[in-house]
Amino acid sequence: MTGLYTIPLIGLKEGKHTFEFGIGNKFFDGFEDSEIKEGDLRAHVLLEKGSACINLRIVISGAVKISCDRCLEFFMQKVECENNIILKTGHDTDEGDPEIIFVPFSSHEFDLSQLFYEYIHLALPLRRIHPDGKDGRCGCNPDMIARLESHRAENENKQMNELKKLLNNN
């Protein structure tokens, strides 16, 4: 996917530039370990080139398909995030500032896909559950919840029976 999500570093005039990128299912195909397999987002990149560095403001909005923690069904999770990052040419000075990325002098362009990927994942809520329906009721699939509940009860029964067997044998 090289080239699709890159911004030019050479030939860019000082000042402000904007770039727009569409992030769809193909984007996530490029990351094998991605928890997200489908999505529909837009990235709006505001670039400001100064004499010594490039400031980037990356605004991503849209939705991604993830699995619900409660009913295990997939749903579309809204994603809105805004991040700032600075690009500097040269070698990493070990300052350890996560907001600064050092790019080699010879780079003609910079690939944003890794940043997009990280920002989208960071924007996901810790607990992923279906948003409530318009009527305020739980948005989860009731059939799946019922099935998971009975499965849990079954497992508990099994464990109880095994425990009983153990106790009776001693």
Which residues in this chain contact Zn ion in the complex, by CB under 5 A?
68, 70-71, 130, 140
Pairing mode, if any, of strands 15-23 and 38-49? antiparallel
Classify residue 61 as exposed, middle or buried by CB count within 10 Å of its CB (0-12, 13-18, 19+).
middle
CB of 66 to Zn ion, least distance (A): 10
- Given a contact cutoff of 8 angstroms between Cβ atoms, the answer to whether 140 and 34 are in contact is no
Of the pair 36, 140, the CB lying nearest Zn ion is at 140
CB of 36 to Zn ion, least distance (A): 16
- Given a contact cutoff of 8 angstroms between Cβ atoms, the answer to whether 104 and 97 are in contact is no
Of the pair 90, 133, the CB lying nearest Zn ion is at 133
Of the pair 72, 160, the CB lying nearest Zn ion is at 72
Note the Cα 85 to chain centre separation in Å. Answer: 17
CB of 144 to Zn ion, least distance (A): 7
C-alpha to C-alpha distance for 81 and 85, rounded to whole angstroms: 13
CB of 60 to Zn ion, least distance (A): 24
Of the pair 60, 71, the CB lying nearest Zn ion is at 71
